[in-house]
C-alpha cells in the first residue's frame, strides 16, 4: 500500500504526512525539489508538479491512494483536473480531495468555482473519492497578531451573518481517517462528502469580544470595508488573489457560512471527537504570542 500526498509541505499536508507515518503507512510526498526536502523517516520524497503530466505519471505509478490538495492559484482547476485524470489512468483506488464549503453556491468566488468544477469531475467520472469541504481556516487568524495586539482590532471583514471556521487540525484528522479507510479497503469505495466546520457561528463582533476576553484588553471589530481589505492583501500578494479573497469575504458578509447541526454531528462521528473551537485556538495562540 502506498499513499501519495500533494501539498505535502503545507500546514495541512504536513500534518497528514506526520499522522500517516505514525500509522506505519508507506508515504510518498510530492515536492518540486526532493533534494531539499526534510521529511521524516518513512517518507519518500517524489519529484513532481501537478502541471507536469509526465512527472505525475511517474509519481502516481504504484500508488493506491491519493490525497489531492491544490493550493489557490490561477491554474488551480487545470492542476486538479489533470491530476485526477492521471490518477484514474494509473488505477488509483482511493482519493481524498480537499474542496471548500459552499463550493457550488459561491459561484462568483474564483477558487470556490474551481473546486466545484473538480467535484463535478469526480461525480461524473464516478471516481472513488472522499470530498472534504472545509470552511474558513481558524489558523488564518494567526496572522492578525499585529492588529489585535497593537491596535486592538479584529481586522478580517467577515460580517455579521456568521462563519463556522474550522481548525486545520480537524481537517488533517479527517483526511487521514479517510485516506486510511480507503487505503486499507480491498477495492474502491463509494464516493462520500463531508462538510468540515467548527461548532460556532462566528461574526466580526463576536470575534472582537472573544479576543478582548482572551487578551485582556479592548478589541473592536474593524468593520467590513472590502476596498481596504483588498488593498491590504495586494500589498503582499498578487492582485488576482486579493480579488479572490475579497469576493469570498463579500459572500461571507451577504450569506454567511454557518454549519448545520447535522454537519457538526456527522463530523463529530467521523473524527471521534467534537470539532475544535475557535476559543481554544485563540487561547493557545495568545499564549504563544506572549511567550
Structural domain contains residue 151 = no
Structural domain contains residue 157 = no
Give the Cα separation of 20 and 24 in Å (integer): 7
Q: What's the CATH code of the domain at 101?
A: 3.40.50.720
Structural domain contains residue 215 = no
Neighbours of 242 (CB within 10 A): 18
Neighbours of 161 (CB within 10 A): 16
Q: Minimal CA–CA distance to 83: which of 101, 96, 102?
A: 96
Residues 6 or more apart in contact with residue 157 via CB below 8 angstroms: 204, 222, 223, 224, 225, 226, 229, 249, 253
Structural domain contains residue 213 = no
pLDDT in tens, 101-127: 999 999 999 999 999 999 999 999 999
Q: Pairing relation of β-strands 27-31 and 3-5?
A: parallel
Structural domain contains residue 226 = no
The strand ranges marked E within the chain are 3-5, 27-31, 43-47, 65-68, 94-98, 129-134, 153-154, 192-196, 220-221
Give the Cα separation of 172 and 188 in Å (integer): 22
Structural domain contains residue 57 = yes
pLDDT in tens, 25-64: 999 999 988 888 888 888 999 999 999 999 999 999 999 9
Give the Cα separation of 90 and 38 in Å (integer): 27
Q: Rounded mean pLDDT of 60-77? A: 96
Domain limits for position 110? 3-135+167-196+259-275
Q: Rounded mean pLDDT of 203-227? A: 98
How many domains is the chain partitioned into structurally? 1
Q: Rounded mean pLDDT of 176-202? A: 97
pLDDT in tens, 201-212: 999 999 999 999
Structural domain contains residue 23 = yes
Give the Cα separation of 132 and 101 in Å (integer): 8
pLDDT bracket for residue 1 (50, 70, 90): low
Structural domain contains residue 246 = no
* pLDDT at res. 41: 85
Amino acid at each position: 500500500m502506498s499513499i501519495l500526498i500533494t501539498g505535502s509541505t503545507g500546514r495541512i499536508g504536513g500534518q497528514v504526512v506526520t499522522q500517516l507515518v505514525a500509522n506505519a503507512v508507506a508515504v510518498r510526498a510530492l515536492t518540486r525539489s526532493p533534494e531539499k526536502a526534510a521529511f521524516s523517516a518513512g517518507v519518500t520524497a517524489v519529484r513532481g508538479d501537478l502541471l507536469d503530466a509526465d512527472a505525475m505519471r511517474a509519481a502516481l505509478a504504484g500508488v493506491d491512494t491519493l490525497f489531492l490538495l491544490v493550493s489557490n492559484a490561477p491554474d488551480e482547476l487545470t492542476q486538479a483536473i489533470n491530476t485526477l485524470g492521471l490518477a484514474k489512468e494509473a488505477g488509483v483506488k482511493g482519493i481524498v480531495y480537499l474542496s471548500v464549503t459552499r463550493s457550488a453556491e459561491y459561484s462568483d468566488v474564483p477558487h470556490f468555482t474551481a473546486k466545484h468544477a473538480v467535484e463535478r469531475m469526480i461525480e461524473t467520472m464516478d471516481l472513488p473519492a472522499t470530498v472534504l469541504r472545509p470552511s474558513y481556516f481558524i489558523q488564518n487568524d494567526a496572522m492578525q497578531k499585529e492588529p489585535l495586539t497593537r491596535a486592538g482590532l479584529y481586522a478580517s471583514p467577515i460580517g455579521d451573518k456568521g462563519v463556522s471556521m474550522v481548525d486545520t487540525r480537524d481537517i488533517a484528522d479527517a483526511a487521514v481517517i479517510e485516506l486510511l479507510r480507503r487505503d486499507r479497503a480491498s477495492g474502491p469505495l463509494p464516493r462520500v462528502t463531508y462538510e468540515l466546520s467548527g461548532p460556532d457561528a462566528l461574526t466580526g463582533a463576536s470575534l472582537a469580544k472573544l479576543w478582548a476576553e482572551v487578551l485582556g484588553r479592548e478589541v473592536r471589530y474593524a468593520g467590513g470595508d472590502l476596498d481596504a481589505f483588498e488593498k491590504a492583501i495586494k500589498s503582499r500578494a498578487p492582485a488576482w488573489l486579493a480579488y479572490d479573497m475579497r469576493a469570498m469575504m463579500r459572500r461571507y458578509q451577504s450569506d454567511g457560512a454557518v454549519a448545520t447541526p447535522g454537519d457538526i454531528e456527522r463530523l463529530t462521528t467521523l473524527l471521534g471527537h467534537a470539532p475544535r473551537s475557535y476559543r481554544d485556538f485563540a487561547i493557545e495562540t495568545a499564549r504563544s504570542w506572549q511567550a
